[in-house]
Structure 1
Amino acid sequence: MRVLVIDIGGTNVKVASTDTPVPIKIPSGPTMTAKSMCTQVLAATKGWRYDRISIGYPGPVVNHRPIAEPHNLGEGWVGFDYDKAFGKPLRFINDAAMQALGGYKSGRMLFLGTGTGLGSAMILDGVVVPLELAHLPYKKGHTYEEYIGAAGLEHRGKKRWRRSVLDIIELLQKAMVCDNVLLGGGNAKLMKKLPPHIVVGSNENAVKGGFRLWEDLTSKQAAKL
Structure 2
Amino acid sequence: MFVFGRRRWWWVACSLAVLVAWRVSRNDKEVVKRDDVAAVPRRWPVACAETTSACGGACDRVLIDDWLGNAEIDGLIGIATRGMAMAPSSEGGPTIFDANSGYVMAPGARLANVYARGEPVFSRQELELYRGVIRRLKHRLEEAFPTDRPLVFTAPTFVARLSGQNASWEPMEPHDEYWHPHVDKQNTHHYDYSGLLYLSDYDKDFEGGLFEFFRAGTNDTALAIQPRRGRLLLFAASQENRHRVRRVTAGLRSV
| TM-score (norm: length of structure 2) | 0.28
Q: Per residue, is there more helix in 1 or in 2?
A: 1
| TM-score (norm: length of structure 1) | 0.31
* Larger RCO (CA under 8 A, 6+ residues apart): 2
